[in-house]
Amino acid sequence: MSIGHTLLGLLESGPRHGYDLKRAFDERFGHDRPLHYGQVYSTMSRLLKNGLVEVDGIEPGGGPERKRYAITDAGITDVEQWLASPEKPEPYLQSTLYTKVVLALLTHRDATELLDRQRSEHLRLMRELTRRKTSGDLADQLICDHALFHLEADLRWLELTAARLDALASEVRA
């Protein structure tokens, strides 16, 4: 996810302080990975340097001064271009899981056990996401569905790999 573009998009509704941007980001997008304040302020500094935001006001506070940021026309254009550009599909052609299976086979370890443990972990996470999905709002349901679909694809791969394990072992050990 492009944090810079996301913060710019949040600024389109009006100027905000870094604290407000972090809170809005975490509320909408940071359920599993909330932003750190340092990440917000370093991103805002970069956006300011690149002319995509401007300081709309500075207010004294109990600590450091609070800057209020506003998106510039260049920032709006940048968000529009980002939203119009399709994301590159992630094909996972060289996954860690594949690497572990091949290394297990090369080192004469039990790859079947590795696949079984991974399947159990995928199923555990799928149960957790399904529980979260049933009690979540629509945005949370969509996020969980996205993750569940990816986990289902991984499970299909685990099953296919388990079925081909002997052939793969012969191939990698040759």
Q: By percentage, how much of the chain surpasses pLDDT 70?
A: 97
Side-chain half-sphere CA neighbours of 165 within 13 A: 19
- pLDDT value for 99: 87
- Domain carrying residue 110: 96-173
Q: Residue 73's domain is classified under what CATH number?
A: 1.10.10.10
Same domain for 104 and 163? yes
Same domain for 135 and 168? yes
Range with top average pLDDT, 13-17, 27-31, 62-66 = 13-17
Identify the residue whose tokens are 């340097």. Answer: 49
What's the predicted TM-score (pTM) here? 0.71
Same domain for 8 and 80? yes
Query: Which ranges in 87-110 belong to alpha helices (H)?
Result: 96-106
**Structure confidence at residue 133 as a pLDDT band (50, 70, 90):** very high
Q: How far apart are CA 48 and CA 57, in angstroms?
A: 13
Same domain for 143 and 116? yes
The CA dihedral of 49, 17, 27, 80, to the nearest 10 degrees, is: -40
- Residue 89 forms part of a structural domain: no
Side-chain half-sphere CA neighbours of 105 within 13 A: 20
Same domain for 24 and 63? yes
- Residue 90 forms part of a structural domain: no
Same domain for 110 and 63? no
Same domain for 102 and 165? yes
Q: How far apart are CA 170 and CA 94, in angstroms?
A: 20
Render pLDDT for 47-105 as a digit per residue (tens, 0 to 9). 999 999 999 988 876 677 789 999 999 999 999 999 988 877 777 766 888 889 999 99
Q: Structurally, how many domains does the chain consist of?
A: 2
Domain boundary among the residues 43, 58, 84 is at 84
Same domain for 107 and 76? no
- pLDDT value for 138: 93
- pLDDT value for 115: 95
- pLDDT value for 31: 75
Same domain for 169 and 102? yes
- Residue 166 forms part of a structural domain: yes
